[in-house]
């Protein structure tokens, strides 16, 4: 339990004790509403909300299963939408079990909530796919709003018939339906075998809604800035932009940036497959999207302050976790501070060319053995005065980190 609390979307274990031969645990309090309450207050979930929920919870389960733990009781009351950032938090590991080997638990106590729990749980066996089944049931409940979920289960054919209970005014893609149907297969072997497999299936879906909804006031502001006062024409304005405090704009952009989830999935999968060069380019793509810029467009130092903290911190979190704290903006920031913000010394430490070169990106070491702080690269930076970008992004990252810690204390 203590190790699980290291994940930002699992309550931290604060203490535990025994009394009257019973074990008690004290966990972090999560301010928010359960998925069950959210359904009652806001109505059934559409495809965008379901896909975002799947992404978030699957990311948690990927971590949980990696720690060889199975939750065994995933259901709407056990997922809280945290008030401060609207992220789902997985709670109540009271019936969780440790995996005895890489695949399943045998002779486990038959626990779980009926209809949410996978059939094999009531036969004393549980697999990672059992948690995925429960997540699938949770999703179809949120999509249909059918409180008597047993009515959506065909006991004679051992299958879910949830499709016919979806509200007529809501349309779900065939791709999402296929993913949910596979999560809900009766036989464990016919389901996805890991959270990663489901994430890959989600990533392969087209995402027109996610892409179009990224257009927002922040993106418009960035585009207008680029159009009317380009840095090449007015360098004084570009310098001034570095000093503008855009926190109020950034903070109001949380809802739109949270929809970048499908692209975060791709970044995670690329790093997991050790395709660091592709991951570096995907990082550039996400930064561009967060600013409303075309993919592959260079980012001026004055635009760095426009990057939402949520995006910057999420990208960094993905890189640091995938590299075991070897790569990421936070690692680069620490190195930059350690050399007294000397750009040449920094480049020497991370093995970057300190000068402008057309072959810069090809000269990088895109392997897990590259020196600490080597990645992600500066390929996204506009111009040749790269020390400006490093100075600004270091300042921006420190500011975002401070904001994140302040919010966590509230």
Per-residue pLDDT of 27-61, as tens digits, reads: 889 999 999 999 999 999 999 899 999 999 999 99
- Give the span between the Cα atoms of 280 and 270, in whole angstroms: 9
Q: Starting from the edge strand earliest in sequence, which strands make up the sheet with 32-34, in order?
A: 32-34, 79-82, 88-90
SS3 135: helix
Kindly indicate the confidence band of residue 206, based on its pLDDT and cuts at 50, 70 and 90.
Answer: low
50: enclosing H helix or E strand:
helix 47-66
155, 247: one domain: no
Encode pLDDT of 96-127 as tens digits: 555 544 444 444 444 446 789 999 988 888 89
Distance CA 296, CA 15 (A): 48
> C-alpha distances in angstroms, 239 versus 186, 231, 358, 395, 403?
61, 9, 25, 14, 24
- Residue 95 confidence (pLDDT): 56
Give 403's Cβ-side CA count (13 Å radius).
17
CB of 88 closer than 8 Å to CB of 127: no
Does an H or E element contain 18, and which?
A: strand 13-19
Per-residue pLDDT for 276 more than 70?
yes
- Residue 59: give the domain boundaries: 4-204
DSSP 234-284: -HHHHHHHTT---HHHHHTTHHHHGGGHHHHHHHHHHHHTT-HHHHHHHHH
Q: Does residue 164 share a domain with residue 262? A: no
Position 266 confidence tier, pLDDT thresholds 50, 70, 90: confident
At 281, list the tokens.
């380019």
Sign (positive or negative) of CA dihedral 91, 97, 102, 104: negative
Which residues, listed in sequence order, are joined to residue 94 by a DSSP beta bridge? Answer: none
Domain boundary among 136, 171, 204: 204
Catalytic residue flag (residue 85): no
- Centre a 10 Å sphere on the Cβ of residue 326 and count the other Cβ atoms it contains: 17
> What does the alpha-carbon distance between residue 68 and residue 95 come to, in Å, rounded to a whole number?
14
Measure the CA–CA gap between 270 and 390, rounded to whole angstroms: 25
Give the range with max mean pLDDT: 17-21, 64-68, 181-185: 181-185
Same domain for 193 and 310, yes or no, is no
CATH of the domain at 115: 1.10.510.10
The greatest distance separating any two alpha carbons of the chain, rounded to the nearest whole angstrom, comes to 76
Q: Give residue 282's pLDDT band: very low, low, confident or very high (50, 70, 90).
A: very high
The pLDDT tens digits for 62-85 are: 999 988 889 889 999 999 999 998
3-state helix, strand, coil in the chain (%, to 5): 55, 10, 40
Give the separation between CA 116 and CA 130, rounded to whole angstroms: 10
Picking from 154, 171, 204, the residue at the C-terminal end of a domain is 204
Question: Under DSSP, is residue 214 helix (H, G, I), strand (E, B) or coil?
Answer: coil
End of a domain among 159, 186, 204? Answer: 204
Q: Which residues contact 227 (CB under 8 A, 6 or more apart)?
A: none
Distance in angstroms (rounded) separating the CA atoms of residues 269 and 188: 24
Whether residues 121 and 229 fall in one domain: no
Assess whether pLDDT exceeds 90 at residue 4. Answer: no
For range 151-173, the mean pLDDT: 92
Do 192 and 214 fall within a single domain?
A: no
* Same structural domain, 231 and 169: no
Question: Are 294 and 230 in a shared domain?
Answer: yes
Angle (CA) 141 145 148, round 5°: 75
Number of domains the chain contains = 2
Structure tokens at 65: 């299963």
Instruction: Give the torsion through C-alpha atoms of 233, 235, 238, 242, to 10 deg.
Output: 180
Please indicate, yes or no, whether the overall pTM of this predicted structure exceeds 0.75: no
Q: What tokens were used for 29?
A: 């309090």
Q: Are residues 214 and 188 in the same domain?
A: no
Are residues 343 and 224 both part of a single domain?
A: yes
Q: Are residues 155 and 216 in the same domain?
A: no
> In the structure, what pLDDT confidence band is assigned to residue 405 with cuts at 50, 70 and 90?
low
Cβ 45 vs Cβ 39: under 8 Å = yes
Taking alpha carbons only, the member of 43, 201, 61 closest to residue 135 is 61
Both 79 and 154 in a single domain? yes
**Residues 6 or more apart from 89 whose CB is under 8 A from it?**
9, 10, 11, 30, 32, 79, 80, 81, 82
In this structure, the answer to whether residues 307 and 382 fall within a common structural domain is yes
DSSP category for residue 381? B
CA-to-CA dists, residue 107 to 93, 125, 158, angstroms = 19, 6, 23
Candidate list 20, 46, 56, 73, residue with the active-site label: 73
Q: What is the mean pLDDT of residues 362-382?
A: 93
27 forms beta bridges with 13
Tokens 């600490």 sit at which residue? 372
């Amino acid at each position: 339990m203590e190790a699980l609390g290291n994940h930002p979307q699992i309550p931290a274990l604060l203490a535990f004790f025994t009394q009257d031969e019973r074990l008690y645990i004290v966990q972090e309090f999560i301010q928010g509403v359960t998925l069950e309450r959210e359904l009652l207050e806001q109505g059934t979930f559409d495809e965008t909300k379901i896909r975002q929920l799947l992404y978030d919870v699957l990311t948690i389960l990927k971590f949980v299963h990696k720690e060889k733990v199975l939750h065994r009781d995933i259901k709407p009351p056990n997922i809280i939408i945290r008030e401060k950032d609207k992220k789902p938090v997985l709670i109540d590991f009271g019936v969780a079990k440790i995996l005895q080997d890489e695949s399943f638990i045998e002779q486990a106590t038959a626990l779980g909530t009926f209809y949410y729990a996978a059939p094999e749980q009531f036969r004393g066996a549980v697999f990672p796919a059992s948690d995925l089944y429960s997540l699938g049931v949770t999703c179809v409940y949120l999509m249909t709003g059918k409180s008597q979920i047993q009515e959506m289960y065909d006991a004679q054919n051992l299958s879910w018939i949830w499709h016919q209970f979806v509200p007529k005014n809501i349309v779900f893609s065939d791709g999402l339906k296929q993913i949910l149907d596979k999560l809900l297969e009766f036989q464990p072997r016919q389901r996805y075998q890991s959270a990663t497999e489901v994430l890959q299936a989600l990533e392969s879906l087209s995402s027109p809604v996610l892409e179009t909804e990224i257009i927002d006031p922040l993106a418009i502001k960035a585009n207008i800035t680029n159009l009317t006062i380009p840095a090449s024409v007015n360098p004084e304005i570009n310098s001034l932009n570095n000093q503008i405090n855009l926190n109020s704009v950034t903070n109001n952009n949380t809802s739109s940036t949270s929809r970048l989830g499908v692209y975060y999935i791709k970044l995670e999968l690329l790093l997991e497959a050790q395709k660091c060069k592709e991951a570096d380019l995907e990082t550039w793509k996400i930064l561009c999207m967060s600013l409303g810029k075309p993919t592959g467009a260079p980012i001026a130092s004055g635009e760095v302050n426009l990057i939402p903290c949520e995006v910057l911190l999420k990208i960094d979190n993905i890189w640091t976790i995938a590299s075991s704290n070897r790569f990421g903006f936070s690692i680069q920031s620490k190195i930059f501070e350690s050399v007294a913000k000397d750009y040449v010394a920094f480049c020497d430490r991370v093995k970057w060319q300190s000068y402008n070169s057309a072959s810069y990106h090809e000269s990088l070491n895109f392997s897990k053995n590259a020196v600490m702080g080597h990645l992600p690269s500066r390929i996204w930076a506009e111009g040749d005065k790269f020390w400006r970008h490093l100075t600004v992004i270091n300042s921006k990252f420190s500011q975002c980190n401070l904001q994140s810690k302040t919010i966590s204390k509230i």
